[in-house]
């Protein structure tokens, strides 16, 4: 298991490298020359206004869309030309916004679906998933559709882990969750780090997403305009103007 960089000695090579990425749907790319790096063992967040391109970044990394040009590398291996299943087999797993359970299948069957590319590692990944979400252990034989909304979201997230993810791409994971369950998920995210995962999170819950982020990026109109540690970025005047409508402290009055 890779340990997070502790600041001593040479910095390790990044797990994910995105370089000069142009991607989107149709003729006009949504992403305009996006470059970023994600190092192993941390939480990276991507925030921005609606339509800024956050989901497009995650989909391009996860193999759901092909870039117009640019590169996506994990451990130095290019992924931009691979199919989704091939990207997932390399440990890069995308969990989309609003993804739901298979309601008539049991919790365990839902998790088995997630492990279709990782049959050899099923037992180990199942134990990790149930340790992260112990609420599911006693419910693994019942239909997933009978669970509460928060527990169903746990199943969805655990299903992503079952593929043997190293880099988990989470699109708006707090959508529709109560504050209590959101806090529970944040605890689970930190536990995932201790199990060797790296998390790349995008979404609209800006304060929550930035507060858990070791590194964060602000996107505007398909481009990255700010970066830095999440809690510091949260208090940046430009970000607060763009996302919260607060006046820019650096702006000159009339």
What average pLDDT does range 197-218 have in this prediction?
95
Average pLDDT, the chain: 90
pLDDT beyond 70 at 1: no
Distance between CA atoms of residues 157 and 165, nearest Å: 11
* Residue 198 burial by Cβ neighbours in a 10 Å radius (0-12, 13-18, 19+): buried
**29: which DSSP letter?**
-
What is the CB-side half-sphere exposure of residue 15 using CA atoms within 13 A?
A: 25
> For residue range 53-106, what is the model confidence (pLDDT) as tens digits?
999 999 999 999 999 999 999 999 999 999 999 999 999 999 998 888 999 999
Q: Which residue has the tokens 């910095």?
A: 11
Residue 176 has pLDDT above 80, yes or no: yes
Rounded to whole angstroms, the Cα distance separating 134 from 106 reads 16
Q: Cα–Cα distance between 185 and 192 in angstroms, integer?
A: 10
Q: Is the pLDDT of residue 125 over 80?
A: yes
Q: Which CATH class is domain 13-91+206-245?
A: alpha beta
Picking from 62, 95, 234, the residue whose alpha carbon sits closest to that of residue 173 is 95
Q: Is 227 helix (H, G, I), strand (E, B) or coil?
A: strand
Give CA–CA dist 175/11, Å, rounded: 34
Q: Residue ranges per domain, the chain? A: 13-91+206-245
**Sign of the C-alpha dihedral, residues 239, 211, 153, 159?**
positive
The answer to whether 20 and 33 are in contact (CB under 8 A) is yes
- What 3-state DSSP class applies to 31? coil
Rounded Cα distance between 101 and 73, Å, is: 30
Q: Which of 96-105, 132-141, 221-230 shows the lowest mean pLDDT across its residues?
A: 96-105
| Sheet of strand 92-95: strand arrangement | 92-95, 167-171, 198-202, 43-47, 215-220, 223-228
What is the pLDDT confidence band of residue 254, given thresholds at 50, 70 and 90?
Answer: very low
The reported pLDDT for the residue numbered 122 is 86
- Residue 253 is predicted with a pLDDT of 40
Q: Of 196, 198, 197, 199, which Cα lies nearest the Cα of 174?
A: 199
The structure tokens listed for 159 are: 């299903």
CB atoms within 10 A of CB 88: 22
Q: Where are the beta strands (DSSP E) in 164-204?
A: 167-171, 198-202
């Amino acid at each position: 298991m890779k340990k997070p960089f502790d600041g001593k000695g040479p910095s390790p090579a990044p797990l994910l490298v995105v370089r000069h990425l142009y991607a989107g749907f149709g003729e006009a790319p949504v992403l305009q020359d996006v470059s970023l790096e994600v190092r192993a063992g941390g939480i990276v967040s991507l925030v921005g206004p609606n339509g800024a391109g956050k989901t497009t970044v995650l989909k391009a990394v996860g193999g759901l869309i092909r870039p117009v040009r640019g590169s996506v590398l994990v451990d130095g291996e290019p992924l931009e030309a691979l199919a989704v299943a091939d990207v997932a087999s390399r440990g890069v797993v995308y969990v989309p916004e609003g993804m739901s359970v298979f309601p008539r299948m049991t919790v365990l069957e839902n998790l088995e679906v997630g492990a279709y590319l990782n049959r050899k590692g099923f037992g180990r990944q199942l134990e990790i998933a149930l340790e992260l979400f112990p609420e599911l252990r006693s419910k693994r034989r019942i239909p997933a559709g009978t669970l509460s909304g928060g527990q169903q979201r746990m199943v969805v997230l655990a299903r992503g882990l079952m593929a043997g993810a190293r880099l988990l791409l989470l699109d708006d994971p707090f959508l529709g969750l109560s504050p209590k369950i959101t806090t529970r998920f944040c605890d689970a995210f930190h536990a995932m780090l201790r199990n060797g995962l790296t998390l790349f999170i995008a979404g609209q819950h800006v304060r929550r997403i930035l507060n858990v982020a070791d590194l964060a990026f602000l996107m505007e109109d398909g481009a990255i305009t700010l970066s830095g540690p999440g809690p510091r970025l949260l208090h940046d005047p430009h970000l607060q103007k763009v996302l919260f409508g607060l006046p820019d402290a650096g702006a000159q009055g009339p």
